[in-house]
Amino acid sequence: AQKITQTQPGMFVQEKEAVTLDCTYDTSDPSYGLFWYKQPSSGEMIFLIYQGSYDQQNATEGRYSLNFQKARKSANLVISASQLGDSAMYFCAMREGRGNQGGKLIFGQGTELSVKP
Amino acid sequence: GAVVSQHPSWVICKSGTSVKIECRSLDFQATTMFWYRQFPKQSLMLMATSNEGSKATYEQGVEKDKFLINHASLTLSTLTVTSAHPEDSSFYICSASPGQAGNGNQPQHFGDGTRLSIL
């Protein structure tokens, strides 16, 4: 069963506008972490933001914020004031459990974001 | 911040040869590193967990004898694609995290990846 689901293969957004990238997850583990990464065409994976399952508040990092709805098992990424440099693939990932084996990430299918000038 | 270096960035080689890819944590020690494979326009698929001083843990469907992993020190893990064939052509990327991997909000830090092309 798919543990991380990103239902938007591609998204377009106008420069300076906000955009929401969807991510839903499935786990029975009460302890988990959710991550968003950006992957430009060059291939490197850039960490954007983290949300822990026990965090009471939604995570924010600059223009990035995470809309965490635990009951719905969703962790959507919101990018405010989009910039041309935001054009990239975006991956949602989940880490389950604890310990070294818990460090591995399971990735969603990704969303390709294109920012229009 | 935590830096992971991966080498080489590009490899083009003939079918049947073996290719070694290195993943180094430059400013931290990593008892665990992870190897992923990514096809164009697709997601990252975890291949194996590399454990310092012990055998790697492979994901279901990944051939252990095909993808040899060695984690001989706290800063270096290597992935060797043995007897490579065109179907092994892909983007391989490693990751590591300071401290115990599963704790807290430590993100996995990724190398820049290796594009492997087998002719």
Taking only the tens place, the pLDDT of each residue in A57-109 is 999 999 999 999 999 999 999 999 999 999 999 999 998 766 544 478 999 99
The first and second tokens of residue B34, run together, are 């992870």
- CA end-to-end span of chain A, whole Å? 38
Could you count the other beta carbons within 10 Å of the beta carbon of residue B114? 23
**Subunit contact A44:B91, Cβ cutoff 8 A:** no
Could you count the other beta carbons within 10 Å of the beta carbon of residue B70? 15
**Chain B closest-CA separation from residue A49 CA (Å):** 9
SS3 A88: strand
Q: What is the CA radius of gyration of chain A?
A: 14
Q: What is the largest CA-CA distance in chain B?
A: 43
**Placement of tokens 């994976």 in the chain:** A45
Answer yes or no: are the C-beta atoms of A20 and A33 closer than 8 Å.
Answer: no
Chain A residues with beta carbon closer than 8 angstroms to that of B42: 109-110
Closest CA to B19 of B62, B55, B67: B67
Taking only the tens place, the pLDDT of each residue in B26-41 is 998 888 899 999 999 8
